[in-house]
Amino acid sequence: MTLFQAGEPAPDFKLPASSGDDVSLSDYRGRNVVIYFYPKDMTTACAQQSCDFRDANAEMLRNNTVILGISTDTVKSHLRFIEKKELPFLLLADTEHKVCDRYGVWQLKKLYGREYMGLVRSTFLIDTEGKLVQEWRKVRVKGHAEQVLEAVKNLQAASTVS
C-alpha cells in the first residue's frame, strides 16, 4: 500500500457518523478538516485526546476547520462517548477498518509480546481542496491537539494571504 503525500488529494470516504448520517470527506470541501484516528472509545488516552480536541474545537472552527474523529467502534459506542465527554464534533464508525487501511493507520501492533492488527493513533490535516497538508503518525497525546491547532492557524493564515 502506498501512502499519500502532502499536496496530494486525501482519500475520500463515506462512513456512518454519530449524527445518524453518512459522512464523506468531500462533504467538507471549502473547509479544512482535521481527521484524527484513535484506537478505542472510553479508553484513557483516547478520552484525553478527544477532550483535547474538544477544547480546541472553537478555535478550529474560527479557523475554518472541522474535526472528525474515526475509530473502529460502532456508532452506538460513539454516542455514549460523545455524551460522556461532551464532544462537539462528529465521530465516524469504521468498523471494517476500510478507511483506516486507506490512510495506513491499520497496522501490526505488539503488546506484551503479542502481535495483533490495530489502529495506530494518527492525525491528518486536509485543506479546503481536499489535499493533505500535514500528517502526524504514532501520536503521543500530550500536547498533540495544540500542535495540530498551530498547524491549522498557519494554514488559515497562509490561505488568507494568497
Alpha helices in 63-117 (DSSP H): 75-85, 98-102
Domain membership flag for residue 6: no
User: Using 50, 70 and 90 to split pLDDT, how confident is the model at 83?
Assistant: very high
Q: What is the CATH number of the domain that holds 74?
A: 3.40.30.10
Q: Is 100 an annotated catalytic residue?
A: no
Domain membership flag for residue 4: no
Question: How many distinct structural domains can be found in the chain?
Answer: 1
The single residue of 15, 34, 46, 151 carrying the catalytic annotation is 46
Distance CA 33, CA 19 (A): 17
pLDDT attached to residue 99: 96
SS3 state at 100: helix
Domain membership flag for residue 93: yes
Domain span including residue 79: 14-19+29-161
Query: Model confidence over 2-48: pLDDT tens digits?
Result: 577 888 999 999 999 999 999 999 999 999 999 999 999 999 999 99
Query: Residues 92, 28, 126, 11: is their CA dihedral positive or negative?
Result: positive
- Higher pLDDT: 43 or 1? It is 43
- Higher pLDDT: 4 or 110? It is 110
pLDDT attached to residue 32: 97
Could you tell me the end-to-end alpha-carbon distance of the chain, in angstroms, rounded to an integer? 34
User: Using 50, 70 and 90 to split pLDDT, how confident is the model at 1?
Assistant: very low
